[in-house]
Amino acid sequence: MKVLHLAHHFWPCIGGMEKSLGQICSGLSKEGVDCKVVCLDRCAKSAEKLPHCDKRNSVEIVRLPFIDLGAYKIVFGALKQAKDCDIIHVHGLGFFSDLFLLAKFSHHKPVIIGSYGGVFHAGSNPLKWLYFYCWNRLLLRAADKVVVISGHDLELFKKIVPEKKIALVPVPVEIERFRPGKKEKNSFAFVGRLSKNKRVDLLIGAFSNAFKGKNARLYIAGEDFEGLQAGLERLAIERGIGKQVFFLGAASDRTIEGLLSKSEFFVSASEYESFGVSAIEAMASGCIPILSKIPSFEDFIGKGKNGFVVEFASPPKAAGALLRISCLGAKEKEEKRLNALSFSENFRAKKIAEMLSAAYADL
């Protein structure tokens, strides 16, 4: 079986979806599924053109030119890439989903659409609302299957797609790369792109209220995706914690593995995540997760079993929660850590590949 995967970005571009798609293809290859990825010929925020044809492990990669209209990319030459495939799997809504659903009469292939939060990653506006709730309510009738990656996305897509057409298949995470190490007391790590929806400013505010002048450290690792790092560094200095907050930038995989291995807690004040790969990586590293009150994170925490949900919108309240959590006894901390480790096992690539293979076989 040959599956054509379509996504805006893939290797060597870095991001949650890019890593997850790599894991999907790796797992599917072991299940005997031949994968081909078609994507854009430039990474986000980059002017550098990438090679048209490439290969990553056993995965064929074709990169195509496009017109960038911001949230919408018009891609040239995508349809002809479907000639030799059995199934088309589009990861996310946008031009690729529109094109391959509208053109089903010409390519005659089953089309699976992956949810990835719909179109609401950076907030909503009237155009996004119309595109999702009106246009996609009609267009997704042509999809053979809609694969949602979280309980959050399931509730979102049930509003526009019959539930019988939806399959819940979580994002695979390369958890075998991550190992718990010797933990540094009162060390907090955030890993993710520095973008507005991640609300690192709220994280710094809560941390300063809780630990200013105390023996605690906050590590922030991630690409400065929206040019926010300088302002966040100033904020940390203004709040009196400039020497307690460490910005690691677009750190290498090895650096992130080491950071999560030594960190006692993983923290995120994000106001929107369709999934949250970094949180699962942290749980596999033995970090206790302290996450914002959003649906995808609440699923991870499991009503307090695997960690803590904190309302970061109020930094003083969040600070009180951080202090209480940091002062928990060793037995309770160890229980949360072990529960989080166990929960991360649900996202192994092999398990997710088996679920996707079954969905493909049905079609």
Same domain, 162 and 211: no
149 and 201 fall within a common domain: no
- pTM to 2 decimals? 0.86
Neighbours of 53 (CB within 10 A): 8
* Domain containing residue 147: 2-172+348-362
Computed over every residue of the chain, the mean pLDDT equals: 94
What would the mean pLDDT of 30-39 be, rounded to a whole number?
Answer: 95
Evaluate if residue 84 carries a pLDDT over 70: yes
- Of residues 225 and 140, the one with the higher pLDDT is 140
Q: For 237-255, what is each residue's pLDDT tens digit? A: 999 999 999 999 999 999 9
Q: What is the pLDDT of residue 123?
A: 59
- Beta bridge partners of residue 91, listed in sequence order: 114
DSSP E strand boundaries for the chain: 2-6, 34-40, 53-56, 59-64, 66-68, 73-75, 87-91, 111-114, 145-148, 166-168, 184-191, 217-221, 245-249, 263-268, 288-292, 308-310
Flag whether pLDDT at 122 surpasses 70.
Answer: no
Of the pLDDT bands very low, low, confident and very high (cuts 50, 70, 90), residue 121 is low
What per-residue confidence (pLDDT) applies to 71?
84
Q: Which two tokens stand for residue 187?
A: 């060390």
Query: Span 101-130, mean pLDDT?
Result: 88
The predicted model gives 56-79 an average pLDDT of: 94
Strand partners, 308: 290
Q: For 154-164, how does the pLDDT look when each residue is reduced to its tens digit (9 = 90+)?
A: 999 999 999 99
With a cut of 90, say whether residue 152 has pLDDT above it.
Answer: no
- 20 and 92, same domain (yes or no): yes
Decide: 300 and 284 in contact? Cβ < 8 Å: no
Same domain, 186 and 320: yes
The verdict on 129 and 180 lying in the same domain is: no
pLDDT of residue 124: 65
d(CA 146, CA 92): 10
In 3-state terms, what secondary structure has residue 180?
coil
**In a shared domain, residues 232 and 203:** yes
Tokens 């973008």 — which residue?
195
Peptide bond into 316 cis (omega under 30): no
Same domain, 102 and 44: yes
Check whether residue 242 and residue 100 sit in a common domain. no
pLDDT of residue 59: 94
Residue 110 has pLDDT above 80, yes or no: yes
Q: Are 196 and 122 within 8 A, CB to CB? A: yes
Question: If you count them, how many residues does the chain have?
Answer: 363
Using 50, 70 and 90 to split pLDDT, how confident is the model at 344? Answer: very high
Quick one: what percent of the chain has pLDDT higher than 90?
Answer: 84
The answer to whether residues 182 and 143 belong to one domain is no
Same domain membership, residue 329 and residue 227? yes
The domain total for the chain is: 2
- Give the CATH number, domain containing residue 104: 3.40.50.2000
* CA distance readout (Å), 92 to 10, 83, 245: 13, 21, 34
Tell me, letter by letter, the H, E, C secondary structure of 237-302.
HHCCCCCCEEEEECCCHHHHHHHHHHEEEEEECCCCCCCCHHHHHHHHCCCEEEEECCHHHHHHHC
Between CA 123 and CA 352, with CA 91 as vertex, the angle to 5 degrees is 110
User: Which pLDDT score is estimated for 332?
Assistant: 96
- 10-19, 87-96, 166-175: which range is least confident on average? 10-19
Both tokens of 12, joined, read 């060597």
Bridge partner list, 40? 64
Same domain flag for 92 and 189: no
Whether residue 55 is found in the same domain as residue 79: yes
C-alpha separations of 183 from 13, 188, 270, 286 in Å: 31, 10, 24, 9
pLDDT, mean of residues 348-363: 92
